[in-house]
Amino acid sequence: MSDLPTRDHYRWFLPISTRWMDNDIYGHINNVHYYSYFDTVANTYLIEEAGLDIHHGDIIGYIVNSQCSYKKAIAFPEKIAGGFRVNRLGNSSVEYGIAIFKNDESDCCAFGTFTHVFVDRKTEKPVPIPEPMRTALASMLVN
């Protein structure tokens, strides 16, 4: 598993609680829940660290692309964490790199990307990422 992204590849982490309902008939977290975890990680960073006002702000983020590679099963009630980084930062878009880690393990269980395009809340047209948010995202940028 040495070719998998490790914790060292990510800049910020969010503990996530798995839930009983996340398990599927096979006894592990169903694949669709990983996208929910990705969404939670990215939006928690945006709200808590980058100043995104999801209720009243002039801009909102739309997901335009996502992908996930699954490498190792996890199951409720394991402790997991989402690792977060920025892969690319454009004028109105950002691609995040996100990985899910079990307990304190170094290798990830799943990893992927998630792309937001920021748009005007009313017109739904792309807008430049505001400077305070851009600064917070740039601090997570990896080369």
Establish if 31 belongs to a structural domain: yes
Nearest to 61 by CA among 139, 132, 114, 97: 114
Burial of 29-65, coded b for 16+ CB within 10 Å and e otherwise, reads beeebbbebbeebbbebbeeebebeeeeeebbbeeee
Question: Domain of 32: which CATH number?
Answer: 3.10.129.10
pLDDT tens digits along 32-82:
999 999 999 999 999 999 999 999 999 999 999 999 999 999 999 999 999
Establish if 1 belongs to a structural domain: no
Establish if 2 belongs to a structural domain: no
Q: How far apart are CA 117 and CA 7, in angstroms?
A: 26
pLDDT at residue 2 above 60?
A: no
Nearest to 109 by CA among 87, 79, 86: 79
pLDDT tens digits along 82-129:
999 999 999 999 999 999 999 889 999 999 999 999 999 999 999 999
Establish if 143 belongs to a structural domain: no
Establish if 115 belongs to a structural domain: yes
- What range does the domain containing 85 cover? 7-138
Establish if 56 belongs to a structural domain: yes
Number of domains in the chain: 1
Query: Which tokens go with 137?
Result: 């995202």
